[in-house]
Amino acid sequence: MAASTTLEPRVATLEDAMRELAFQSARTQEELARLSREMRDFKQEMSDFKQEMSEFKDEMKDFKDEMSEFKDEMKDFKDEMKDFKDEMSDFKDEMSAFKDETRREHRELNKKWGDMANRLGTIVEDLVVPSLPQIIEETLMERIDDLSVRRKRRLPNGRSKEFDAIAVTPSLVCLNSTKATLRSADVDQMITDIEELREFFPDYREVPVVGILATLAAEQSVVRYATKLGFLVLAVGDELMEVQNPAGFVPRRW
C-alpha cells in the first residue's frame, strides 16, 4: 500500500507534465502554423513586390525608351530647325540678291529709257527731216524751197511755240509733228497746230497747209483716223520714214 501511495503523486505529476507538454506542443503547432502563414503571406507580399518592381522596371524601361525616342525626335526637330534656318538664310540671301539685281536692272532700265528718250528727241533730225524731200516730192509733187527744224516763234504777248519741222514749197506749207507713240489725240492736235502755225507765222495765213504726222510705228486704227482727216502718216520703214496711208491717198490742204 505504501508503494501505491507513493506512485500516485508521481503519476499525477507525469500526467500534468504530459498535459503541459501536449499544451505546449499544441501552442508550438499553432505558433508554427501562424509563422508558416506569416511566411507564406510574406513570400506572397515579396512576390507581389517583385512583380510590382518588375512592372515598375518595365514601365521605367518604357519611359526611358520614350524619352530616348523623344530625344531623337527633339534632335530631328533641331536638325530640321537648323535646316529651316539655313534655308531661310539662303532665301534671305537670294531675296537680297534678287533685290540688288532688281535695283540694278531698274537702274539699267532707267538708263535705257533715258537713252531712248534722248534718241527720240532726235527722231525729227535723224529720220523725219532726211525723208521729207523725197516724200513731199513723190506724194505732193512739190519741191521744197525751205526746210526748218525745231522752228520756234514768240508772239508779242510772250506766248511761244516750237514746231518740229516746217517745209515750204512754191505752193504750200508742210507742217510736221513727230511723236514717239502716235495716238488719236495727236491727230486731233494737228488741227490746232495748223491754226497756231498761221497765228505764229502770219505769212502762211493764206497758204494751204498739209499736215504730216511722223512716229516710230503707227497703229492701223490711228492711220485710218488720220487718213480720214486728211493727214499724211509716216513711220519707220526700210528706208527711213515711209508713208502709212493707203495707196492713192491725197492729203488734204488746209
**Whether residue 87 sits in one domain with residue 135:** no
pLDDT tens sequence across 61-86: 888 888 888 888 888 888 888 888 88
Q: Is 120's pLDDT higher than 70?
A: no
Grid cell digits, residue 218: 503707227
Q: What stretches of the chain show up as alpha helix (H) in DSSP? A: 2-120, 123, 129-140, 184-200, 220-229
Q: Write out the DSSP string of 28-56.
A: HHHHHHHHHHHHHHHHHHHHHHHHHHHHH
In a domain? residue 253: no
Mean of all residue pLDDT scores within the chain: 84
- In a shared domain, residues 148 and 108: no
Range of the domain at 181: 124-243
- Residue 211 in contact with residue 231, Cβ under 8 Å? yes
**Over 90: is that where the pLDDT of 226 sits?**
yes
Indicate if 132 and 46 belong to the same structural domain.
no
Q: Residue 92 — left, alpha, or beta (φ > 0 → left; ψ -120 to 50 → alpha)?
A: alpha
Per-residue pLDDT of 171-214, as tens digits, reads 999 999 999 889 999 999 999 999 999 999 999 999 999 999 99
Domain-ending residue, one of 90, 120, 150 = 120
pLDDT at 114: 38
Q: Which three cell numbers stand for residue 161?
A: 511755240
Same domain, 147 and 73: no
CA neighbor of 210 nearest in space, from 248, 171, 152, 159: 171
Write the DSSP string, 232-245.
Answer: EEEEE-SSSEEE-S
- The answer to the question of residue 230 being in a domain is yes
Residues 185 and 157 in one domain: yes
Residue 239 has pLDDT above 50, yes or no: yes
Look at 12 and 76; give whichever has higher pLDDT.
76
- Do residues 228 and 194 share a domain? yes
106 shares its domain with 190: no
Residue 252 domain flag: no
The residue to which cell 501552442 is assigned: 27
Instruction: Give pTM, 2 decimals.
Output: 0.55
- C-alpha 237 chain-centroid distance: 40
Residues 116 and 62 in one domain: yes
Q: What is the dihedral of CA 26, 30, 31, 32, to 10 degrees?
A: 100
| Whether residue 72 is found in the same domain as residue 26 | yes
Residue 58 lies in a domain: yes
- Number of domains into which the chain is organized: 2
Q: Are residues 46 and 72 in the same domain?
A: yes
Q: 154 with 205, same domain?
A: yes
87: pLDDT strictly greater than 50? yes
Query: What is the spatial distance between Cα 148 and Cα 154, in angstroms, rounded to a whole number?
Result: 16
User: Would 233 be classed as within a structural domain?
Assistant: yes
Question: Which residues, listed in sequence order, are joined to residue 161 by a DSSP beta bridge?
Answer: 153
Q: How many residues comprise the chain?
A: 254
Residue 30, pLDDT score: 84
| Domain annotation covers residue 251 | no
**Same domain, yes or no, for 101 and 161?**
no
200 neighbors 153 (Cβ within 8 angstroms): yes
Is 218 within the bounds of a domain?
A: yes
Output the domain CATH number for residue 169. 3.40.1350
Q: How confident is the model at residue 216 (pLDDT cuts 50, 70, 90)?
A: confident
